[in-house]
């Protein structure tokens, strides 16, 4: 089982290496898979105050789209997070579905949660407020979006200097600690998006940043929580799941997908999740 989960082999490759028929090897692995899943999963939850880092992995089946909902729990003073048992729900990823999953957390764990870290899904901030949690929005996802309009590669793009100033100003506003410098950057960004020559998409994302600017800087408001400013740890974990999906050439059924993903999460349930090191910009 370990060679399939971790050594980047497929059942077909394993059968060829063992000089066995594919179907015999497939049957043996699935029997072992069912046996492993019947065993009780024992995960040691982090003590004390904890934060939740969440992300969703989209999977397309012939019957429609499914999302694997992943939740990592990390003690505020630690750099290691524990992956909870994945949830599988059909349809698009929404904040309403996330709220239902948060309500299903064990009460003793839920009472110790102080913050939520996630990407910019609409409504997640409201989920955090309802539960009394601080809310940190992912920097990476937002920077990655606005960098597409930066014009770093296309030398002939219109308003190249304007675009670069726009990008650097927003990036600086995410990290600067000085309230005076921060306010100056916000005013500068507002002036840029009010410029009649500002491209439509830059204005759109600039306005979005202004509306949600404090959600990006929660890590500065609560330095004692040692919050990460991105969900990159979960993105990396999703990448390993995606690699498992690619090796399997997709799963034939939803139940088959659930079995392999749950077993992988049980065997590989700890990830590194570093908080943001807060230095003067």
Alpha carbons 90 and 257: distance in angstroms, whole number: 13
Domain with CATH 3.30.420 in the chain: 50-138+222-272
- Taking a C-beta distance cutoff of 8 angstroms, is the pair 165, 189 a contact? no
pLDDT band at 25 (very low <50, low <70, confident <90, very high): low
pLDDT of residue 61: 79
Query: pLDDT at position 207, please?
Result: 93
Residue 171 φ then ψ, to 5°: -60, -40
Closest among 159, 168, 45 to 110, alpha carbons compared: 45
How far is it, in rounded angstroms, from Cα 156 to Cα 147? Answer: 16
The pLDDT, as a whole number, for residue 65 is 87
User: Which of 62 and 96 is assigned the larger pLDDT?
Assistant: 96
Q: What is the average per-residue pLDDT within 202-213?
A: 92
d(CA 119, CA 128) in angstroms, rounded, equals 13
Q: What is the pLDDT of residues 120-155, one digit of tens each?
A: 888 999 999 999 999 999 998 899 888 888 876 666
| 186 pLDDT higher than 90 | yes
Q: How confident is residue 34, by pLDDT bands cut at 50, 70 and 90?
A: low
How big is the chain by its Cα radius of gyration, in Å?
A: 22
Res. 251 pLDDT band, cuts 50 70 90: low
**pLDDT for residue 14:** 55
- 202 by Cβ neighbours in 10 Å (0-12 / 13-18 / 19+) ranks as buried
Please check the confidence at residue 280 and state whether its pLDDT lies above 90. no
CA–CA distances in Å: residue 26 to residues 30, 138, 158: 6, 40, 57
Lowest mean pLDDT among 42-51, 82-91, 181-190: 42-51
Is residue 169 over pLDDT 90?
A: yes
pLDDT band at residue 22 using 50, 70 and 90 as cut-offs:
low
Structure tokens belonging to residue 17: 């290496």
Q: Write down the CATH number for the domain with range 50-138+222-272.
A: 3.30.420
Instruction: Report the chain's mean pLDDT, rounded to a whole number.
Output: 84
Which one, of 158, 151, 109, 156, lies nearest residue 131 by Cα? 109
Residue 279 confidence (pLDDT): 47
Predicted pLDDT of residue 44: 78
Q: How many CB atoms lie within 10 A of CB 91?
A: 10
The token duo for 227 is 């919050």
Output the pLDDT for position 94. Answer: 93
Confidence band (pLDDT; 50, 70, 90) for 281?
very low
User: What pLDDT was estimated at residue 218?
Assistant: 95
Q: What pLDDT score was predicted for residue 259?
A: 81
d(CA 84, CA 218): 24
What is d(CA 231, CA 115) in angstroms, rounded to the nearest whole number? Answer: 13
Contact 37, 263 (CB under 8 A): yes
């Amino acid at each position: 089982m370990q060679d399939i989960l971790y050594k980047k082999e497929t059942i077909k490759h394993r059968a060829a290496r063992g000089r066995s028929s594919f179907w015999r090897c497939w049957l043996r692995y699935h029997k072992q898979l069912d046996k492993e899943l019947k065993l009780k999963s024992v995960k040691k939850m982090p003590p004390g105050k904890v934060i939740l880092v969440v992300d969703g992995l989209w999977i397309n089946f012939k019957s429609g789209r499914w999302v694997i909902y992943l939740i990592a729990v990390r003690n505020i003073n630690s750099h290691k997070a524990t992956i909870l048992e994945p949830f599988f729900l059909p349809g698009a990823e929404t904040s309403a579905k996330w709220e239902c999953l948060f309500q299903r957390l064990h009460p003793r764990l839920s009472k110790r949660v102080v913050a939520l870290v996630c990407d910019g899904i609409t409504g997640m901030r409201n989920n955090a407020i309802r539960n009394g949690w601080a809310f940190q929005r992912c920097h990476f996802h937002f920077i990655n979006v606005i960098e597409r309009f930066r014009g770093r590669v296309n030398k002939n793009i219109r308003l190249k200097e304007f675009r670069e100033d726009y990008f650097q100003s927003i990036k600086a506003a995410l990290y600067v600690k000085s309230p005076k410098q921060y306010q100056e950057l916000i005013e500068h960004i507002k002036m840029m998006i009010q410029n009649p020559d500002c491209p439509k998409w830059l204005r759109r994302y600039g306005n979005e940043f202004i509306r949600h600017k404090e959600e990006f800087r929660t890590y500065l408001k609560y330095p004692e929580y040692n919050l990460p400013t991105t969900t990159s740890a979960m993105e990396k974990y999703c990448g390993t799941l995606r690699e498992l999906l690619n090796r399997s050439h997709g799963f034939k059924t939803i139940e088959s997908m659930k079995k392999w993903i749950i077993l992988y999460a049980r065997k590989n349930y700890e990830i590194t999740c570093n908080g943001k090191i807060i230095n003067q910009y």
